[in-house]
Amino acid sequence: MEDLSKQYQSLREAVEKAAGRKMNTPRDFNHLVACIQSSTNELISATTLKRFWGYLENDKGYRPFKHTLDVLSTFVGYKSWENFCNSSSATGSSQSDYLNNNRLYTTSLLNDDKITLLWDPDRKVEIKYLGLDLFEVVESANSKLKVGDRFCCGHFIDGEPLYLSRLIRDNGVIGDYVCGRNTGIKFILHKRGV
> Which of the listed residues 44, 65, 88 is the one where a domain comes to its end?
88
Supply the DSSP symbol for 183: T
140-177 burial, b at 16+ Cβ within 10 Å, e below that, comes to beebebeeebbbbbbbbbbeeebebeebbeeeeeeeeb
- 67-92 pLDDT, tens per residue? 999 999 888 888 889 888 877 543 33
Number of domains comprising the chain: 2
Is 97 inside a domain boundary? Answer: no
Q: Verify that 11 and 83 share a domain, yes or no.
A: yes
Q: Which amino acid is it at 150?
A: R
Q: Verify that 54 and 132 share a domain, yes or no.
A: no
- Rounded CA-CA distance 38/44 in Å is 11
- 23-44 pLDDT, tens per residue? 999 999 999 999 999 888 899 9
Instruction: Work out the average pLDDT over 5-31.
Output: 89
Q: What whole-number percentage of the chain has pLDDT above 90?
A: 54
Q: Verify that 80 and 117 share a domain, yes or no.
A: no
Q: Verify that 136 and 176 share a domain, yes or no.
A: yes
**Can you give the residue range of the structural domain that contains 177?**
103-190
Among candidate residues 38, 42, 98, 46, the one with its CA nearest the CA of residue 70 = 42
Asked if 48 and 68 count as a contact pair (C-beta separation under 8 A), the reply is yes
- pTM, rounded to two decimals: 0.53
Q: Verify that 60 and 139 share a domain, yes or no.
A: no
pLDDT of residue 193: 63
- Rounded CA-CA distance 91/107 in Å is 36
> Which of the listed residues 61, 88, 115 is the one where a domain comes to its end?
88
Terminal Cα-to-Cα distance of the chain (whole angstroms) = 53
